C-alpha cells in the first residue's frame, strides 16, 4: 500500500501489452482530493518526451494524477514522442475528470522506440477503472523494468503518512538515475512548498546512489500532498514531515541500489573530514563509480589502494578535491587499513554482501554519504541482452 497508504490516494497497475508475458506495465496514481505537488527530473540533455511534458504541466497546474508506462522510454522519439506523451495525459485527464495539465506522464524502458499509443490509451482506461486504495502493490509492480522486485516504503508521522514507490536497477547515477519514484502524503502543503521538502530529500537519497555511472533520459521523482489528514501544521510537524519524506526517499534509494543489475554487494561509502561538503561529495561519488573499486567489491577483495587512488582523482571545481595523502585514513568494515597515510597491514574478509567504507581526509568538516554496488559479470550479460 505504499502510494495509497496516505489518505485520499488510489492507484492501480494493469497489463496493456507493452511488456511480454502479461506483465503489468501501466500504473496510475491519483489523489481523490485536491493536491499540491512538485517534481525533480534528470539533467541529461537528451530529455525524454514525458519529462518535457511533465515539466510543462508542473509550470501550469498542481498535479493530481501520475500515469506511468514501462517497457518503452519514449525518449529520442522527436515530435511524435511529445504528441504521444500529451495524448496519454489528455486521455487520463478525460477519464478522471481533470485538466490535462493536472496529469504527469512518466515512462521507462528502451530508448528510441515509439510508444504504442493504442496500447497505452487502452491501458489508461483499464487502469482508471481499476483505481483502488488497495492498488499500491500493483502500481509498484507495473513500473518495473529489469527490477527483480518492487520497491515500496511508508513512514508514519504524528497524524499523517508518507508513502512511496520507485523503480530502478540499472543506468543508476545522479542526477537522478534510471529511476522513477512517486511519493504521496496526506500532509497539508501550500502552493509552491512541495519542492522545498522534496529537493533536500532527493539530494541525500536518489542523488547519492550509483550502480553503473550512467545518467538516464527519463529520471523523475514526484511528490503529491493532498492534506487529507486534516492535521494542524506547526513548525514541529513540518520538521517531522521533512524527516518522513527523507526516510521514504532514503529507503527507496537503498532498495534501488540493493537491486542493482547483477549486484552481489551493497557498499556504503562515508567520506569525513573533507575540506568542504561539495568536495566530500565529489570524492564519495568518484569512489562509488570507480570500475576498479566496484570490480574489487565483486571479488570480495579489500583492495584499499583502489579506493585511495579514486579518492585522489575526484574532480572538483575545474581541478581536483583537496586531499593530503599523509593525512588520509581508510576503514573497511570497521577495520583500519590505512591510517594517516600508512598501511596498517590489516584487511577485512569481505565475505558477505555488504561493505562499509569510511574515508577520513582530516582536512575539515565536509561530509558525504553514497551508496553503490559491485560490478559483476551478470551486469554485462543483462545489458548485453537488454534488447535481445
273 & 170 share domain: no
Q: Quick check: 288 and 260 in contact, CB under 8 A?
A: no
> Which 8-state DSSP code applies to residue 2?
G
> Which 8-state DSSP code applies to residue 100?
G
108 & 144 share domain: yes
Residue ending a domain, among 256, 286, 314, is 256
Candidate from 50-64, 156-170, 202-216, 238-252 with smallest mean pLDDT: 202-216
- Residue 91 has what pLDDT? 98
> Which 8-state DSSP code applies to residue 219?
-
121 & 238 share domain: yes
Residue 244 lies in a domain: yes
Task: Spell out a b/e string for 38-51, using b for 16 or more CB atoms within 10 Å of the CB, else e.
Answer: bbbbbebeebbbbb
26 & 155 share domain: yes
- Residue 361 has what pLDDT? 98
Residue 38 lies in a domain: yes
Residue 350: pLDDT band with limits 50, 70, 90? confident
Residue 303 lies in a domain: yes
- Residue 135 has what pLDDT? 97
Task: Say whether pLDDT at 169 is over 80.
Answer: no
The catalytic position among 42, 88, 178, 373 is 178
Residue 279: pLDDT band with limits 50, 70, 90? very high
Catalytic site residue 4?
A: no
* Ramachandran class of 244: left when φ > 0, alpha when ψ lies in -120 to 50, beta otherwise: alpha
- Residue 177 has what pLDDT? 41
Residue 101 lies in a domain: yes
79 & 127 share domain: yes
Residue 154 lies in a domain: yes
236 & 281 share domain: no
295 & 371 share domain: yes
List the CATH number of the domain containing 236. Answer: 3.60.70.12
How many CB atoms are located within 10 Å of the residue 368 CB? 22
Residue 119 lies in a domain: yes
Residue 261 lies in a domain: no
List the CATH number of the domain containing 379. Answer: 3.10.20.340
The secondary element (H helix, E strand) that includes residue 35 is none
- Residue 145 has what pLDDT? 84
The secondary element (H helix, E strand) that includes residue 52 is helix 49-60
The CA distance from 303 to 305, in Å, is 5
What would the mean pLDDT of 337-343 be, rounded to a whole number? 95
Residue range(s) defining the domain that contains residue 78: 2-256
Helix axes 117-130, 78-96, angle to 10 degrees: 20
How many CB atoms are located within 10 Å of the residue 59 CB? 8
Closest CA to 66 of 37, 25, 24: 37
Residue ending a domain, among 256, 287, 306, is 256
225 & 244 share domain: yes
Please say whether the dihedral angle defined by the alpha carbons of residues 195, 58, 101 and 192, taken in this order, is positive or negative. positive
207 & 344 share domain: no
pTM of the entire predicted model? 0.81
Residue 176 lies in a domain: yes
Averaged pLDDT score across all residues of the chain = 91
- Edge-to-edge strands of the sheet including 65-72? 9-14, 26-31, 65-72, 103-110
User: What 3-state class would DSSP assign to 67?
Assistant: strand
Residue with cell 483502488: 132
Q: Quick check: 348 and 332 in contact, CB under 8 A?
A: yes
225 & 297 share domain: no
- If one counts the domains in the chain, the total is 2
What would the mean pLDDT of 180-193 be, rounded to a whole number? 96
Residue ending a domain, among 230, 256, 282, is 256
239 & 285 share domain: no
175 & 271 share domain: no
Amino acid at each position: 500500500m505504499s502510494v495509497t497508504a496516505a489518505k485520499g490516494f488510489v492507484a492501480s497497475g494493469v497489463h496493456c501489452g507493452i511488456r511480454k508475458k502479461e506483465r503489468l506495465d501501466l500504473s496510475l496514481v491519483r489523489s481523490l482530493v485536491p493536491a499540491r505537488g512538485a517534481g525533480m527530473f534528470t539533467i541529461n540533455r537528451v530529455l525524454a518526451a514525458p519529462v518535457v511534458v511533465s515539466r510543462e504541466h508542473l509550470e501550469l497546474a498542481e498535479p493530481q494524477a501520475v500515469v506511468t508506462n514501462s517497457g518503452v522510454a519514449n525518449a529520442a522519439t522527436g515530435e511524435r514522442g511529445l504528441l504521444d506523451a500529451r495524448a496519454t495525459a489528455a486521455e487520463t485527464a478525460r477519464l478522471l475528470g481533470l485538466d490535462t495539465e493536472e496529469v504527469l506522464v512518466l515512462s521507462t524502458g528502451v530508448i528510441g522506440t515509439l510508444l504504442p499509443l493504442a496500447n497505452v490509451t487502452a491501458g489508461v482506461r483499464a487502469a482508471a477503472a481499476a483505481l483502488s486504495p488497495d492498488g499500491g502493490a500493483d502500481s509498484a509492480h507495473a513500473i518495473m523494468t529489469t527490477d527483480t522486485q518492487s520497491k515500496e516504503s511508508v513512514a508514519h508521522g504524528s497524524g499523517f503518512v508518507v508513502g512511496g514507490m520507485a523503480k530502478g536497477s540499472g543506468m543508476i547515477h545522479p542526477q537522478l538515475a534510471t529511476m522513477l519514484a512517486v511519493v504521496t502524503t496526506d500532509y497539508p502543503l501550500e502552493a509552491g512548498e512541495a519542492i522545498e521538502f522534496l529537493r533536500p530529500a532527493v539530494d541525500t537519497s536518489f542523488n547519492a546512489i550509483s550502480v553503473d555511472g550512467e545518467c538516464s533520459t527519463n529520471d523523475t521523482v514526484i511528490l503529491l500532498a493532498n492534506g487529507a489528514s486534516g492535521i494542524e501544521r506547526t513548525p514541529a510537524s513540518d520538521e517531522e514531515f521533512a524527516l518522513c519524506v527523507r526516510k521514504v526517499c532514503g529507503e527507496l534509494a537503498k532498495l534501488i541500489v540493493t537491486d542493482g543489475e547483477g549486484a552481489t554487494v551493497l557498499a556504503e561509502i562515508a567520506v569525513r573530514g573533507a575540506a568542504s561538503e561539495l568536495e566530500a561529495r565529489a570524492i564519495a561519488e568518484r569512489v562509488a563509480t570507480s570500475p576498479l573499486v566496484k570490480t574489487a567489491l565483486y571479488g570480495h577483495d579489500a583492495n584499499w589502494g583502489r579506493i585511495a587512488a579514486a579518492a585522489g582523482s575526484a574532480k572538483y571545481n575545474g581541478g581536483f578535491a583537496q586531499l593530503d595523502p599523509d593525512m588520509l585514513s581508510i576503514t573497511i568494515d570497521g577495520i583500519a587499513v590505512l591510517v594517516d597515510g600508512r598501511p596498517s597491514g590489516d584487511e577485512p574478509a569481505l565475505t558477505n554482501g555488504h561493505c562499509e567504507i569510511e574515508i577520513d581526509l582530516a582536512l575539515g568538516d565536509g561530509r558525504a554519504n553514497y551508496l553503490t554496488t559491485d560490478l559483476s559479470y551478470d551486469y554485462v550479460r543483462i545489458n548485453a541482452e537488454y534488447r535481445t
